[in-house]
Amino acid sequence: MAEKGKEDLVSDIGSPGPFSVSTRVGIMMALLGSKRATFTELLLAVKTPKSSLNKNLGILEDSGFVKQRRGFLSAAGPRAIVEITPKGEEAIKKHLEVMRELADKFLGSKNTDPVNEGRSTQ
């Protein structure tokens, strides 16, 4: 069973969580840096069919991780805009933290500080 506070991110066996699909992780990673993107920008970033992107955005929206709205971009006209929510930002950061912990556990910690040229930061 997952730790308290991580149950939304790392599911029990047989119960898929919101980040159990790589497309959703890719969407959230794309939005983490930019805070918002058009549907078309996400299509290019995640490289998935429109139907898959639409379905996965719906799941993320139902989880409260993204908001979708119609917007108007000056030269481009009306567009679907997707924004990461504060809840979504926190969730993807926690997910990445869990993935880093797992990688460190199984692969060994290789976190280095580039300023100190390879000396371990831990």
3-state helix, strand, coil in the chain (%, to 5): 50, 15, 35
- Quote the pLDDT of residue 4: 44
- Quote the pLDDT of residue 5: 47
Q: Identify the CATH number of the domain in which residue 85 sits.
A: 1.10.10.10
Going from the C-alpha of 33 to that of each of 14, 16, 36, 65, 73, the distances in angstroms are: 31, 25, 8, 14, 20
Q: Categorise residue 5: left if φ over 0, alpha if ψ from -120 to 50, beta otherwise.
A: left
Tell me the mean pLDDT in the region 32-43.
92
pLDDT higher for 101 or 113? 101
Number of domains in the chain: 1
CA gap 94, 9 in Å, rounded: 8
Report pLDDT digits (tens) over 61-111: 999 999 999 877 666 667 889 999 999 999 999 998 988 988 888 888 665
Within-domain flag for 2: no
pLDDT higher for 55 or 19? 55
Backbone angles phi, psi at 75, to 5 degrees: -80, -30
Tell me the mean pLDDT in the region 48-55.
94
Mean pLDDT, the chain, rounded, equals: 80
Q: Which domain holds residue 35?
A: 22-105
Within-domain flag for 69: yes
Within-domain flag for 28: yes
- Quote the pLDDT of residue 110: 62
- Quote the pLDDT of residue 9: 47
